[in-house]
Amino acid sequence: MLNCKDVVVKFGGVRGLDGVSLTFERGISGLVGPNGAGKTTMLNVLSGFVSPSSGRVEFDGLDLLSMNPTGRARWGLRRTFQQEQSVDSLTVWENLLVAAENLGSRPADARQIADLVGLTELDRPVPLLSMLERRLLELGRTIMGRPRILLLDEPVAGLPEAESLMFAPLIERICEEFSLTVVLVDHDMDFVTRACSNIAVLDFGRLIAYGDCVSVLSDPAVEAAYLGVSNES
């Protein structure tokens, strides 16, 4: 159970997150909202790249904010980035290997994970990969060793419809295999509702709705946010 309590992030005078309290259960949860709503900022807080000015983040009672980002990654809090981060100067295999080496995994496990996400021809340099393969590689890198929490920041951005369709079952499989808590960020409602049971909706740094798909989708505040109208008016 990943628990956020009254998380506030200030960028100068702007509030990136404005007192967000949220609980993500084991399984896949969605985090949606229009552009600039604070989704990436939320993941940055969880993974340690941004320190909140107040608030708490706990996982099963363990205080996550006391660990630095590298420490969190090694402990099992993994994430991907909106801009995918595979190392261009290495091959696919070396990309998996470097993650395995630093996340306490063995090369043999790296090989298994390549099979799990469906990567082949591992001796190719990364610049020769298709966008889909780069996204798969990134996903593979996050589940080395002993993952506990997986934060995915728009994992299907830039992929054509057909390819992003096959991503949801893959994430489900990974979630089950490692019994993870997955937070899936996307602004595409369709994709998120396909993969998630619960959805949280952010707008202007505030949580405006949280619950199962059906109730969230029918929430008038969510509709307003997605139409680009401020929910206060």
| Contacts with Mg ion, residue ranges (CB under 5 A) | 40, 82
Give the contacts of 70 (CB within 8 A, at least 6 positions apart): none
Q: Contact with another protein (CB under 8 A): which of 20, 30, 38, 79?
A: 79
By CB under 6 A, tell whether 159 contacts ligand ADP. no
Residue 149's Cα: distance from chain center in Å?
Answer: 9
Of 51, 49, 55, nearest to 3 by C-alpha is 55
Work out what residue 98 binds among another protein, Mg ion, ligand ADP, none; the CB cut-off runs from 5 to 8 Å by kind. another protein
Size of residue set near ligand ADP by CB under 6 A = 11
What is the amino acid identity at position 79? R
Backbone phi, psi, residue 160, to 5°: -65, 155
By CB atoms closer than 10 A (0-12, 13-18, 19+), residue 214 is exposed
Measured between alpha carbons, how far is 176 from 191 in angstroms, rounded to an integer?
Answer: 19
Gap between the Cα atoms of 52 and 65, Å rounded = 9
According to the binding rule CB under 8 A, does residue 111 interact with another protein? yes
Q: Is 99 in the site for another protein (CB under 8 A)?
A: yes
Among 2, 28, 30, 40, contact with ligand ADP (rule: CB under 6 A): 40
Contact status: 90 vs another protein (CB under 8 A): yes
- From the list Mg ion, ligand ADP, another protein, none, partner contacted by residue 88 (C-beta under 5 to 8 A by kind): another protein
Based on CB atoms, which residue is closest to ligand ADP, 126 or 196?
Answer: 196
Task: Give the residues lining the site for ligand ADP (CB under 6 A).
Answer: 11, 14, 16, 33, 35-41
